Structure 1
Amino acid sequence: MELINSLVSEVPVFPPVAKPCSDGEEWKTCVSGSCAETTCERRVLPNACTEDCNYGCYCSDGGTRPFPRPKHCPRNEVYRACVSSSCAEATCQKPTVGPACTADCRSGCFCEDGFFRNDAQLCVERDQCP
């Protein structure tokens, strides 16, 4: 019985048969779980990929999977697809953005140009800042 168990544990596990994928996607059989896809929210760093093997429909090479865009941004805010987390927007406490920005990428609603985020998390004109 021990011999059978050791032989069974050495049998390779094969991925399932390829399934149809949506436009812009393709079936992939060995994709790292930590580096599956790049999105604006999650930039993939190739040297940080794990060696596990996943299968399924993934973006075609060079493609990215967009995040759902909010239907409506609050007053004085606009949707932006890719903004550095360290230089996202001006605030009442820090009215100048920069000078050095990180290379990460966030999407969402941000203050329109000429508006500043206050302590109540609203985008206001400069003269409305404390």
Structure 2
Amino acid sequence: MKLEAIIILAIVGTIYAVSMPCGPHEDYLECGSACPETCDTLGEVRPCTRQCIRGCFCQQGYVRNTLTGECVLPCDCPPKASTTTTTPVPTDTTLCLDPNTEYRLCGDECPRTCENLNPQPPCTQVCMPGCYCKKGYVRENVSGLCILPCDCPPPAPPKPPCGCPKGPKSCPCRL
């Protein structure tokens, strides 16, 4: 029964993928880039993780015009106002339900959490929009809310070493 369900889902997914309408100069990809090049990022070196994103992507040689959403040749991109242009970030607070979060177009792959207050490099930036903890806040692991580090629950006590020097009944690691 499970195998039949998996086969049906695969067929439906394939039909959906094939029938996915894409615009001019776009192709549907099962595994597209998480950080496709746009007119705004043309020629910039930017960190990006290898993630498979499904959807319509510009064909090779084309980039997305972020103003129109269309795929255009790089020479058809609108001129940049200055070399330090940034993409405006939506500030609509209704996008993020937690008041200690903010909407960002690109977030950290290794955000700070109560269990990981000092993530070790290498942590790359992921260009994935979403709600991320505001500066000074960390994600609480159980509730998922953003809290001040001083409000994190205390860490769990370390597990006793699994040695039974006084016999099997004294070993706290075995039931």
* Structure with the higher strand share, 1 or 2: 1
TM-score by length of structure 1 reads: 0.49
